[in-house]
Amino acid sequence: MTNNVLRRIDQAILLTEAGNHLQAVTEFLDIYGTDDSPPLNTAKAASGLSFFGLSLALVQKKYKTGIDLCKRALDLEFYNGDHYANLTRIYMASGNRKKAIETVESGLKIVPEHEGLIKVRRELGVRARPAVPFLDRAHPINVSLGQARHAKKAETATPQKRTTRKPHAR
């Protein structure tokens, strides 16, 4: 790979990290969509594929393609937490929370101190146990009790404004 291509991949990754996914997709398409695209067997190419997959999924809603690109990056660099974080974000965007949790957990097993993975895990949150564990989560009793529990938590989380009374003038 030439230094120019490496710089362009770095630039496109920076655009993705900054949230400029549309510009990043354009840049990645210029890099990978030509006949002289870089070989896909290096660490830099793996990072490029991973961030390309994320931007492609978020901008064009091509979740399957984005997932495939991130998985290819993981095949090349399984120890890079960014690839797990990007794949998790794609699963979150596509509405597949279960796969997102599985991906972030497997990434944290390999790279437990990765800041990006820890941040994504925090964004996912943790689901509370069902109110009645032996019933299905979607059972109407669990749904009603869960909504009540959530409302109570929200009520106690925001402190009530206390009104102070002025003493009566005598």
Domain ranges of the chain: 3-126, 129-158
Would you state the pLDDT for residue 165? 58
Q: Which residue has the higher pLDDT, 42 or 95?
A: 95
Cα 81 to chain centroid, rounded: 12
- Residue-wise pLDDT for 56-81, tens only, equals 999 999 999 999 999 999 999 999 99
Would you state the pLDDT for residue 71? 94
Query: Which residue's entry shows tokens 């509405």?
Result: 95
Would you state the pLDDT for residue 167? 60
CATH of 3-126, one of 1.25.40.10, 3.40.47.10, 3.30.1300.30, 1.10.10.10: 1.25.40.10
Q: Residue 5: which pLDDT band, with cuts at 50, 70 and 90?
A: confident
pTM for the model stands at: 0.75
Would you state the pLDDT for residue 93? 95
